Amino acid sequence: MADGRRGGGAVQSVERALDLLEVLAAAPDEMGVTELTEATGLPGATIHRLLATLLSRGYAHQDPVTRRYSLGSRLVRLGGSAGRRFGTWMRPWLVELMELSGETANLAVLEDSHVVYVAQVPSRHKVRMFTEVGNRLLPHTTAVGKVLLAFRPREVTGAVIARNGLPGRTGRTITDAGRLYRELEQVARRGYAVDDEEEEEGVCCIAVPVFGPDDAPAAMSVSGPTSRLGPGRRQRILPRMLRVSADASAALLSAGDPARRGDRHP
Amino acid sequence: MADGRRGGGAVQSVERALDLLEVLAAAPDEMGVTELTEATGLPGATIHRLLATLLSRGYAHQDPVTRRYSLGSRLVRLGGSAGRRFGTWMRPWLVELMELSGETANLAVLEDSHVVYVAQVPSRHKVRMFTEVGNRLLPHTTAVGKVLLAFRPREVTGAVIARNGLPGRTGRTITDAGRLYRELEQVARRGYAVDDEEEEEGVCCIAVPVFGPDDAPAAMSVSGPTSRLGPGRRQRILPRMLRVSADASAALLSAGDPARRGDRHP
DNA sequence: CAGCCTATTCCACATGGTGGAAGCGATGCG
DNA sequence: CGCATCGCTTCCACCATGTGGAATAGGCTG
């Protein structure tokens, strides 16, 4: 095995193909073969061959005129199926969150600088939350968003903020970059984030991370009217939320083998 | 080359990995290695190795207790990026549709038995359409949905219908399977579909397919109030829509092949 | 507790993937 | 207008890499 540092037996060409997809996903627009060469360190011929394979299956797209590459439409459908599936096997944890808090529980991921809600378990209250599955919100206004940002390298955070700006949604939204960075640091240290009417008046939200094999975490939250989620109640709920967070992460990371123990949480 | 029948130079292990992802996406729930063996014809060891690679990157997920596999969370984000990108390079065609019809143009794909809107170019009318990007609707109630179904094998269509049923949305929704099948045949023959207030009262929609390297087509549509999209106007718009459909498909299919270059005509 | 079925690991082999270098086609420059 | 350049694509000999049959481990079932 050429790349001995990677875990177990991994298929080189598949890994490289995935690398390509990820580089393409991260890029703001289309990329040429040479750019990909620089980004991945692979020889052009190899990249071309890999791309040809992805191309023929619709996983990559090549602009007919510029000949540059980007992600293909096939991934849209796959992503949708994956989201549905992801929501399904995260459901037990969401249910747990909903039951321990009595409020609606959400699952979200960071996608193209936006927070996207992937699954939800609604509370039984008459007054419930509004976010719908599939909704896209800005990270800096939401608790899940702050969690998703807090556990990524600073440069990613910076890119996201540069792209979105920090528009205010309510009087309490954090619109100052310095303050946001301080808050994110705190979130990373504490392991949770709170949104106290920063996205919507009267709505409060508490979020915790879920770490998986993916380098970016997902986030789970509970959200409800501020009247029901005051500081006192939050203090009571939080320890149990953190515990669920850790449990869910452990479940995701254990791929059935006790050999690999990559603990990632603070 | 052992497998000479496949187009050009494709990387075997990558193709197989993609096969696995697609099988997992198509399955209603998690799958074991043996099921995958049957579905793909690959030996168990090979599948296992491929899955290990996908697993370690978050592209597949293994339930810690049942040890069965499904799609991983990483694909959710990738899919999102891909959707955004897909919408971006389809935009010229959508703009063309919007301009030739004066109505809002949409791009949609079939995803997990649902129609999902991926991109949109809004019309300049004050009264516009309602579908939002990311929205999920049932195929049988929409023009795009009918297009997406019409160009897939009968068994896929059947599975989708079996899963969703044929709930009515308005008095005009097609709720009879026989009638739907006849309509789909007509759609396939004519190359377009119409939704005449079948999804929403007062809203009419015309859709055409876009064929790419992916075996499933996408669909583009224009939608607006019935008052503006009566039979007469539809007849005038349709030929041009079909032309855009063909042009867009040609553009998608020519992957670096110096075949057809569809110049746009304002 | 034995039998069976499924996931996982192992390993010798040769197939399939690799990448340096040569071809092309398109822009840009003189 | 033709020559130079640059980046995408194709070729091919080599051998690292992925392959898959068979052995192992683990978990249910009867």
Question: Which strand ranges, in their side-by-side order, compose the sheet holding A104-111?
Answer: A136-137, A114-121, A104-111, A218-225, A203-210, A193-196
Task: Please tell me which residue of chain B has the smallest CA distance to A72.
Answer: B82
Contact B94, B115 (CB under 8 A): no
Q: Which residues of B touch A254 (CB under 8 A)?
A: 64
**Token pair for A123:** 């509370």
Mean pLDDT of chain A: 87
Distance, Å, A118 CA → D5 C1': 49
Q: Could you tell me which residues are beta bridge partners of residue B141? A: none
Q: Which residues of A touch B61 (CB under 8 A)?
A: 85-86, 89, 252
Cα separation, B260 vs B247, in Å, equals 9
A8: left (phi over 0), alpha (psi -120 to 50) or beta: left
Q: For B42-101, how does the pLDDT look when each residue is reduced to its tens digit (9 = 90+)?
A: 898 999 999 989 988 889 998 888 889 999 988 988 888 898 888 888 999 999 999 999
Which stretch of DSSP H or E encloses residue B114? strand B114-121
Task: Please tell me which residue of chain A has the smallest CA distance to B249.
Answer: A64
Where does CATH 1.10.10.10 sit in chain B? 12-72
Size of interface A-B (CB pairs under 8 A): 224
Mean pLDDT of chain B: 87
In the predicted structure, residue B216 carries a pLDDT above the cut 70: yes
Is B185 an interface residue toward A (CB < 8 Å)?
A: no
| Nearest nt by C1' to B42 Cα | D20
Please state the pTM of the whole predicted model: 0.84
B175-to-B32, B137, B170, B180 alpha-carbon distances in Å: 36, 15, 10, 8
Contact B224, B129 (CB under 8 A): yes
Cα separation, B231 vs B208, in Å, equals 16
Q: What is the pLDDT of residue A9?
A: 66
Name residue B53's amino acid. Answer: T
Residue of A12, A14, A260 best to disrupt the B interface, most CBs of B under 10 A: A14
Distance, Å, A88 CA → D16 C1': 41
A165-A166-A168 Cα angle (round to 5): 135
Cα separation, B92 vs B252, in Å, equals 13
Count Cβ atoms below 10 Å from residue A146 Cβ, excluding itself.
28
Question: Which residues are CB-contacts of B200 (< 8 A; sequence separation ≥ 6)?
Answer: B130, B169, B170
Q: What is the pLDDT of residue B263?
A: 34
- Reported as a pLDDT band with limits 50, 70 and 90, residue B190 is very high
Please choose, from the candidates A42, A76, A45, A74, the residue with its C-alpha nearest in 3D space to the C-alpha of residue A57: A74
> Is any atom of strand C within 7 angstroms of residue A34's beta carbon?
no
Cα separation, A111 vs A225, in Å, equals 26
* C-alpha torsion sign, points A66, A29, B101, B134: positive
Return the higher-pLDDT residue of A206 and B126: A206
Residue A140: DSSP 8-state: G
Is B86 an interface residue toward A (CB < 8 Å)?
A: yes
Question: Which residues are CB-contacts of B17 (< 8 A; sequence separation ≥ 6)?
Answer: A11, A14, A17, B50, B53, B54
**Token pair for B73:** 């969370």
Q: For B131-164, how does the pLDDT look when each residue is reduced to its tens digit (9 = 90+)?
A: 777 778 899 999 999 999 999 999 999 999 998 9
**What CATH number belongs to A12-72?**
1.10.10.10
* Helix, strand or coil, per DSSP, at residue B206: strand
Q: Which fold has domain B76-253?
A: Beta-Lactamase (3.30.450)
Q: Which residues of A touch B14 (CB under 8 A)?
A: 13-14, 17, 50, 53-54
**3-class DSSP string for A59-75:** CEEECCCCCCEEECCHH
Q: For B195-205, how does the pLDDT look when each residue is reduced to its tens digit (9 = 90+)?
A: 999 999 999 99
**Token pair for A221:** 């939250």
Q: For A75-122, how does the pLDDT look when each residue is reduced to its tens digit (9 = 90+)?
A: 988 888 898 889 988 999 999 999 999 999 999 999 878 898 889 999
* C-alpha torsion sign, points B44, B47, B49, B51: negative
Residue in the structure block whose two tokens are 């079996």: B162
Name residue B199's amino acid. Answer: E
* Helix, strand or coil, per DSSP, at residue B60: strand
Cα separation, B245 vs B249, in Å, equals 6
A6-31 mean pLDDT: 84
DSSP H helical ranges for B194-253: 231-253
> Is any atom of strand D within 7 angstroms of residue B68's beta carbon?
no
Nucleotides of C under 7 A from a protein CB: 5-10, 15-21, 25-27
Cα separation, A259 vs A241, in Å, equals 27
Q: Could you tell me which residues are beta bridge partners of residue A137? A: A115
Please name the residues between 190 and 219 in chain A that touch chain B, using a CB distance below 8 Å.
Answer: 212-216, 218
Q: What is the pLDDT of residue B209?
A: 97
The b-or-e profile of A187-212 (16+ CB within 10 A means b, else e) is: bbeebbbbbbbbbbeebbbbbbbbbb
What phi, psi does A61 have (nearest 5°)? -130, 140
Count Cβ atoms below 10 Å from residue A99 Cβ, excluding itself.
14
| Nearest nt by C1' to B35 Cα | C6
A111-A86-A218 Cα angle (round to 5): 45
**Token pair for B33:** 């290695």
Name residue A99's amino acid. Answer: E
Contact B250, B262 (CB under 8 A): yes
Q: Could you tell me which residues are beta bridge partners of residue B208? A: B220
Q: Which residues of B touch A85 (CB under 8 A)?
A: 61, 70-71
Among the residue ranges A45-49, A185-189, A227-231, B7-11, the one predicted with the least confidence is B7-11
Contact B15, B25 (CB under 8 A): no
Where does CATH 3.30.450.40 sit in chain A? 76-253
